[in-house]
Amino acid sequence: MSELKGSGQQTADAPTPEDAFHETATLDSREQTHAPGAAPDGPVLAADGTPLKRSLARALRMQKIRALALIAPLLIFVLLTFIAPIASMLFRSVENEIVSDTLPETVVVLNDWDSAGGAPLPESLFEAFYVDLFLAQEQKLHTRLGTRLNYEQTGMSSLFRKSGRQVGKFDTDKYTDQFTALDASWEDPASWVAMMDNKSNRTALPFTARSWDRWVAYLNTEGDDPAKEDIEDFLFTTLYLDLAKTGGKGASDARITAAGSAVGDFETVSLAEQFADAEKDWADPEIWRVIQTFSPKFTSGYYLNAIDMQKTPDGIEKRPENQQIYLMLFKRTMFMSLVITFSCIMLGYPVAWILANLPSRTANLLMILVLLPFWTSLLVRTSAWKVMLQQQGVINDTLVWLGLVADDARLVMINNQFGTIVAMTHILLPFMILPLYSVMQTIPPTYLRAAKSLGATNWTAFWRVYFPQSVPGIGAGSVLVFILAIGYYITPEIVGGNTGTFISNRIAFHISSSLNWGLGAALGTILLAVVMLLYWVYDKIVGIDNVKLG
């Protein structure tokens, strides 16, 4: 009998490769049993003559590699479809590179401009902005930049769009005419290519060299040859500005030296006046303060907007009261999600109890009714509730026919919070019933009979014996329903109106309509943080280990 028992234990607790590995290490240390042909004091050898310890280590390594290979497709799928989008959302919520990438020369000048001290706008600011805007409109980036800044200051979008159309018509062609009159070779693009390939020339003309590099990079993306394209007016403008400062000293090109001596007699153009004539708002320092404020590559502005604050040149401020909507939407989303979750518990618990206590054949037939909504489109189910809940809908018509409601006092049950709660409770109810049913099926009915035999009433037996065992199902269903509810946007959009929409509706609006992806990402990140916080609180109070699906 003891032999049988020992044999059974050996089968139940079969040794693993790790056990063999440790056992081999012990044998080596004690210099015990050796394989045939091994040295008297040497290590234990495998059949192929390899030390047993090394052979087992190799086997363990191969076993881990095979296990990793099996889960690799799932791991890659999760990384690509879950981790990567979340990481992208987190980055977009703080990313602000469009300003510095589109206006690099302007940002450098703005960093030295004392906007708080009331310093006047320097001419160099408009010179740098002229080059940046010319290149931006060639690449069609000025409209994107205007859209980004329009989130912070109304009117910026139209300002950049109009100025982009006019920047090519500025009077800077005067510089072009004067340089070509001085030396006709300045019109030859090939000579510019050769000039900008010389290091000493680039050192003597730093602004021109930077502008030339950006122009060549743009031409390359278009598939054009810089040696064959006409030299634009903005390059002659930068050439004049460089020569006016340095006189072309140190350049190896004789044309540069000659032009440096002649630019003192050139007719000049005030770019500040050119921009003011194009759009008078460019003379307003407040416009430039906005650009200066949002010139860093990373910003907290999106998160501030998401909590009804705003980043301004004067610091962080509250948004006007009529623009404070996001905190209210967050509160509404939390409240309505909790109400929907509670409604699903109240409606789903009795249904799950009935299913768990009916004979299997009957329970399976009724389970089909629970699963039936999954076979119907979400849009169809939501639209059906819109038809039923409207003032001329089925429910109101029935109430009027029964005489419970007057025909001229029909209930308003759509385009408000009530309609959203009703429709979403119906849609999410199966997600509460299924976990409850699976848990209740595991509760033996004999427990209730035993409690009643000991003198407990029906209510006491249920509350003290049955209900505590069903709590894990309530927890699982509640977590599932709440997380689904908090992120819903189709149903609130259709039946919610102005008072029944969720924060997810604003996120969808910014992602698909306004294209303010930064604000949409910030709202989504805050929503994710709130869900994680509530999950942590739930774990501390209830314990995630108590959540079961049967």
Write the pLDDT tens digit of every residue in 259-310: 988 988 899 999 999 999 999 999 999 999 999 999 999 999 999 999 999 8
Residue ranges of alpha helices (H) inside 13-49 are 17-30
Backbone angles phi, psi at 324, to 5 degrees: -90, 95
| H/E run at residue 134 | helix 123-138
What pLDDT, on the 0 to 100 scale, is given for residue 46?
A: 64
Q: Which residues contact 218 (CB under 8 A, 6 or more apart)?
A: 135, 138, 139
Residue with tokens 């076979």: 375
Contact assessment for residue 273 and residue 282, using Cβ atoms and an 8 Å cutoff: no
State pLDDT tens for residues 214-230: 999 999 999 999 999 99
Provide the number of structural domains found in the chain. Answer: 4
Helices 123-138 and 156-166, packing angle to 10 deg: 80
Domain end, chosen from 249, 265, 281, is at: 265
Q: Is residue 199 part of a domain?
A: yes
Alpha-carbon dihedral angle through residues 324, 327, 330, 336, given to the nearest 10 degrees: -80
331/258 Cα distance (integer angstroms): 71
Q: What's the pLDDT band for 139 if we cut at 50, 70, 90?
A: very high
Q: Between residues 46 and 500, which one has the greater pLDDT?
A: 500
> Does 168 score more than 70 pLDDT?
yes
State pLDDT tens for residues 45-63: 766 677 777 778 888 888 8
Q: Is the dihedral of CA 447, 451, 457, 463 positive or negative?
A: negative
What pLDDT, on the 0 to 100 scale, is given for residue 16?
A: 58
- Give percent above pLDDT 70 in the chain: 90
Same domain, 341 and 209: no
Q: What does the block give as tokens for 305? A: 């907007």
Q: What does the block give as tokens for 513? A: 């309509």
Q: What does the block give as tokens for 323? A: 């623009």
Same domain, 530 and 428: yes
Domain end, chosen from 92, 110, 141, is at: 92
Same domain, 160 and 242: no
Question: For residue 461, how far is the Cα from the chain centroid?
Answer: 49
Same domain, 132 and 79: no
Contact assessment for residue 391 and residue 411, using Cβ atoms and an 8 Å cutoff: yes
Q: Is residue 389 part of a domain?
A: yes
Same domain, 412 and 371: yes
Backbone angles phi, psi at 412, to 5 degrees: -95, 100
Same domain, 164 and 179: no
> Does 472 score more than 50 pLDDT?
yes
Arithmetic mean of pLDDT, 366-395: 88
What pLDDT, on the 0 to 100 scale, is given for residue 313?
A: 85
Q: Is residue 1 part of a domain?
A: no
Same domain, 355 and 446: yes
> Does 458 score more than 70 pLDDT?
yes
Arithmetic mean of pLDDT, 381-390: 89
85/278 Cα distance (integer angstroms): 42
Arithmetic mean of pLDDT, 34-48: 58
Highest mean pLDDT among 30-44, 57-71, 125-139, 481-495: 125-139
Arithmetic mean of pLDDT, 110-117: 86
Arithmetic mean of pLDDT, 396-400: 90
Quote the strand ranges of 328-482, DSSP E. Answer: none
Output b/e per residue, 56-71; b: 16+ Cβ within 10 A.
beeeeeeeeeeeeeee
- Give percent above pLDDT 90 in the chain: 50
- Which residue in 261, 378, 303 sits closest to 95, CA to CA? 303
What pLDDT, on the 0 to 100 scale, is given for residue 24?
A: 52
Q: What's the pLDDT band for 38 if we cut at 50, 70, 90?
A: very low
Which range has the worst mean pLDDT, 3-17, 411-425, 483-497? Answer: 3-17
Q: What does the block give as tokens for 85? A: 């989008």
Q: What's the pLDDT band for 541 if we cut at 50, 70, 90?
A: confident
Listing DSSP states for 173-194 in one string gives: HHHHHHHHHH-GGGG-HHHHHH
Query: Could you say which DSSP state residue 315 is in?
Result: E
Same domain, 443 and 514: yes
173/188 Cα distance (integer angstroms): 16
Query: Does residue 40 sit in helix, strand or coil?
Result: coil
Query: Could you say which DSSP state residue 224 is in?
Result: -
Q: What's the pLDDT band for 546 if we cut at 50, 70, 90?
A: low
Same domain, 287 and 411: no
Same domain, 386 and 502: yes
439/434 Cα distance (integer angstroms): 9
Q: Which residues are 311's β-sheet partners?
A: 316
Domain end, chosen from 223, 248, 265, is at: 265
Domain span at residue 259 reads 173-265
Q: What's the pLDDT band for 11 if we cut at 50, 70, 90?
A: very low
Contact assessment for residue 269 and residue 175, using Cβ atoms and an 8 Å cutoff: yes
What pLDDT, on the 0 to 100 scale, is given for residue 253?
A: 86
Same domain, 72 and 189: no
Arithmetic mean of pLDDT, 29-52: 58
Same domain, 382 and 289: no
> Does 188 score more than 70 pLDDT?
yes
Q: Between residues 488 and 28, which one has the greater pLDDT?
A: 488
Contact assessment for residue 267 and residue 287, using Cβ atoms and an 8 Å cutoff: no
Q: What is the mean pLDDT of the chain?
A: 86
Q: Is residue 482 part of a domain?
A: yes
Q: How many CA atoms within 13 Å lie on the side-chain side of 1?
A: 0
Output b/e per residue, 1-17; b: 16+ Cβ within 10 A.
eeeeeeeeeeeeeeeee
Arithmetic mean of pLDDT, 497-521: 89
Highest mean pLDDT among 37-41, 123-127, 310-314, 386-390: 123-127
Q: What's the pLDDT band for 186 if we cut at 50, 70, 90?
A: very high
Arithmetic mean of pLDDT, 460-484: 90
Q: Is residue 230 part of a domain?
A: yes
> Does 372 score more than 90 pLDDT?
no
178 C-beta neighbours (distance < 10 Å), count? 19
451 C-beta neighbours (distance < 10 Å), count? 18
